Structure 1
Amino acid sequence: MILINFIGIALLLVGLGIPAMASSALHLSHEASLVVTGVLLVAMDVTWRLIQRGENSWRAALALPKQGGSIFFLPVWLWGGWWIGLGMYRLVFASQSS
């Protein structure tokens, strides 16, 4: 099993760097930045996996660690989904508590 691979590191750096620069330039909230980061990570990793899938089915390509980015045994698209969920949760419930 792959703990972290270079594709995962590159996707994570780009996926965190672009929204960080955009959020400071556009004055986005932290929660909106989390959602943008998640969407970007999911889009980049799924695209990479589907392009590199070779003989594998698309379902196997999404799950196999060698097909795309992997961080701590989890595919990068799963981390992106977690960030989307966290950002959406904070957008909804942080605005209610204010």
Structure 2
Amino acid sequence: MRAGNLDRSITVQSYTTTLNAYRVPVMAWVDVGTVRAQIIQSSTEEYLTNGASDTTSIIFRTRYFEGVNTSSQVLYEGQTYNIREVKEIGRRKGLDLRCERKVAA
């Protein structure tokens, strides 16, 4: 993986429980890390369900780091993408994150 190919910046977030000032549990998205990434593939598909909707799929390739799973999400260019699949490249060399964003039309 060449550093020059990692030309995008993404933020990975996890959904966690924290305690507020009144010791009440609050569920919130917390940043796991902001990393450099490469876009491997990007596509938009239209599915006909109960309403018209577009699904944008994108695959990010980044260096390996802990704490990423399918319950996490990615922020990229102001858009939120759900992580559908995490694939490890080599032995902790990198990660392919297959993400999806659903847009209601």
TM-score bracket, shorter-length normalisation:
under 0.3
| Greater strand fraction, Structure 1 or Structure 2 | 2
Structure possessing the higher relative contact order (Cα contacts under 8 Å, 6 or more residues apart): 1
Of the two, which has the highest radius of gyration?
A: 2
Name the structure where helix makes up a greater proportion of residues. Answer: 1
